[in-house]
């Protein structure tokens, strides 16, 4: 997994180490939470469940490793295209031995996020996809998961994950799935300033995460005065020749 080179600045070793330490601490917290979920479950997890969990964690570790590799050269990423990273998460699940599902993915351009938000968003995607792989199919039918990442008309990134299962069980009401996984997703969404929505129907469960995209400022094309700022009265039209 390789991060794009948008927003690359130079940084010192201490800054790079600080960023990587934060990412690894976040990932370690995720592992502890999943261990608690597995150990307190009513039933022992089966082989497929454990493999899906390991695949999701492995994909996130690969993201952190590639980031560290780039930072170790003295570069510091200020942003990255989350669409590219989600595509690699989907590929990791698709190629895993416990998949047994059809996973399709589509993305649009310009889905930039600040670097500090990349790993939390990938953890949300991994958690929801793991749940979809486990529950997102009807009896005697293959699992089909559709994932997409695009910007909407308001310059918000919308990440959608849809399965073809039974939807939320009737006894669970109209709300989202309960449990540690749901609380994890909600906490991470708040951390990145995003909103989540679950929509359940007879055709499956539709999950959406919406969060603000990083919008790069456009350069001011007007001439710059010696003290900084555009020249007063300057325009872009060329003056006629003599």
| Residue 154: φ, ψ to 5° | -100, 15
Q: Supply the pLDDT for residue 12.
A: 54
Q: Supply the pLDDT for residue 169.
A: 60
CB-CB contact of 27 with 64 (8 Å): yes
Q: Which residue has the tokens 């927003």?
A: 7
Higher-confidence position of 211 and 2: 211
For residue range 78-131, list pLDDT tens digits in order.
677 899 889 988 988 888 776 678 899 999 998 999 878 888 898 899 889 888
Q: Supply the pLDDT for residue 119.
A: 84
Q: Supply the pLDDT for residue 112.
A: 92
Fold designation for 8-212 = Heat Shock Protein 90 (3.30.565)
Cα three-residue angle 172-204-82, rounded to 5 degrees: 105
Contacts with 25 (C-beta within 8 Å, 6 or more apart), sequence order: none
Q: By CB neighbour count within 10 A (0-12 exposed, 13-18 middle, 19+ buried), where does 129 fall? A: buried
């Amino acid at each position: 997994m390789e991060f794009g080179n948008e927003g690359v600045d130079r940084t010192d070793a201490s800054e790079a180490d600080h960023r990587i330490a934060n990412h690894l601490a976040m990932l370690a917290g995720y592992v502890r939470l999943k261990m608690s979920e597995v150990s307190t479950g009513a039933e022992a997890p089966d082989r497929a469940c454990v493999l899906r969990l390991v695949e999701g964690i492995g994909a996130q570790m690969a993201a952190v490793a590639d980031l560290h590799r780039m930072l170790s050269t003295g570069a510091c990423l200020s942003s990255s295209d989350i669409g590219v990273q989600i595509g690699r998460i989907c590929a990791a699940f698709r190629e895993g031995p416990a998949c047994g599902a059809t996973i399709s993915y589509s993305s649009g351009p310009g889905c930039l996020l600040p670097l500090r938000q990349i790993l939390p968003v990938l953890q949300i995607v991994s958690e929801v996809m793991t749940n979809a792989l486990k529950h997102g199919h009807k009896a005697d039918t293959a699992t089909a998961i559709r994932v997409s990442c695009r910007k909407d008309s308001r310059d918000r990134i919308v990440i959608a994950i849809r399965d073809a299962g039974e939807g939320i069980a009737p006894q669970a009401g109209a709300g989202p799935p309960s449990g540690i996984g749901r609380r994890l997703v909600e906490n991470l969404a708040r951390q990145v300033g995003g909103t989540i929505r679950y929509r359940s129907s007879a055709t499956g469960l539709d999950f959406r995460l919406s969060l603000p995209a990083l919008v790069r400022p456009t350069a001011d094309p007007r001439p710059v005065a010696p003290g900084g700022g555009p020249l007063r009265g300057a325009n872009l039209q060329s003056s006629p020749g003599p």
